[in-house]
Chain A
Amino acid sequence: MLAFIASTVFCFVMWLLLTFNGNFWQTDELVAGIVMACIAGFASRKILVKDFKLANPKRWLFILAYLPRFFYEMAKANFDVAYRVLTGRINPGIVKISPGLKSDVAITTLANSITLTPGTLSVDVDEEKNLYIHWINVKKEVLKKMPRDYKPICSNFPDWARRIGE
């Protein structure tokens, strides 16, 4: 029931934003929106709402604090890839890291962040939530020991993902 209400409210807010045209909404628009939001919310209640971790406002604050740092890393990544596009200097490989995250939200956040940041692209994830990452410029010192150190690959993103999603 709570999942149904949460997804309905989410769908209704989306409807309001998408139908806003500069003036206040007409009554028929609002009524149609509520009916549609109820249908869509009922259909998607098990997909959109898995648990209520994201209802905690602390996590939203962490997401907001994470965004500027993420965009900074992303800008760096783009200049790095641009440099490699123009010079063709690559040294690729697939490395395995064990960030030690449990929840799906955390591992999704981490995998998407890794894909959008310096020279790394997540390829696969296994049952123990180990990530396999294609790295465009493999550093020598990471190859020496087997539980790979994730600091050179994705700096402290696993800590941020833990704060947001666990």
Chain B
Amino acid sequence: MIWEIIYIFLGIGVAFNILASIGLLRFPDVYTRLHAGTKCTTFGSIFICLAAMIYGLWKWHAGDKQMIVITIHTLFALIAILLTNPTGAHAIARAAHRSGIKPVKAVVDDLEGKNV
């Protein structure tokens, strides 16, 4: 039962990470590629981390005291991913716009010409 849950979570995580890499190849410019590169990888990584946490908790419950370490450390990794992934995407997008890269096929650009 628990093995199935772990495999399902791993499968969902890997599927979203694959979608993210397809998006990186298919989208036309840096901003839309960041969409694929931040959302899908964060969501996929959450599921992979959840699978690792469930495995650690399960083994800990079964009597192996050391395995709680996996759960705690994966939780910290998850929090770090959740905080740094959007921040990094924001920094890349801002740097791209400041160095003059226009969004491809844009219907509106409110930031155009503004050097904040």
Please determine whether B109 and A93 come into contact, CB atoms closer than 8 angstroms.
yes
Please determine whether A136 and B109 come into contact, CB atoms closer than 8 angstroms.
no
Please determine whether B86 and A112 come into contact, CB atoms closer than 8 angstroms.
yes
Name A123-140 residues within 8 Å CB distance of B: 123-127, 132, 134, 136, 138
Report if B4 contacts A (CB, 8 A).
Answer: no
Q: Give the interface centre of B16, B40, B60, B86 by most chain A CB atoms within 10 Å.
A: B86
A-contacting residues of B (Cβ < 8 Å)? 16, 19, 22-23, 26-28, 31-32, 34-36, 38-40, 42-43, 60, 65-69, 72-73, 76, 82-83, 85-87, 89-90, 93-94, 97, 103-112, 114, 116
In addition to A116-B39, A121-B35, A121-B90, 12 A-B residue pairs with Cβ atoms within 8 Å of each other are: A18-B72, A20-B68, A20-B72, A22-B68, A75-B43, A81-B40, A92-B106, A112-B90, A115-B89, A116-B38, A116-B82, A134-B34
Please determine whether A134 and B93 come into contact, CB atoms closer than 8 angstroms.
yes
Minimum CB–CB distance for B109 against chain A, Å: 5
Please determine whether B31 and A134 come into contact, CB atoms closer than 8 angstroms.
yes
Minimum CB–CB distance for A74 against chain B, Å: 6
Please determine whether B108 and A138 come into contact, CB atoms closer than 8 angstroms.
yes
Name A64-97 residues within 8 Å CB distance of B: 74-75, 77-78, 81-82, 84-86, 88, 90-96
Summarize A's interface: helix, strand, loop or mixed. mixed
Q: Give the A-B contact count at a CB cut-off of 8 A.
A: 136
Question: In the bound complex, what is the Cα–Cα distance between A134 and B76 (angstroms)?
Answer: 29
Please determine whether A136 and B68 come into contact, CB atoms closer than 8 angstroms.
no
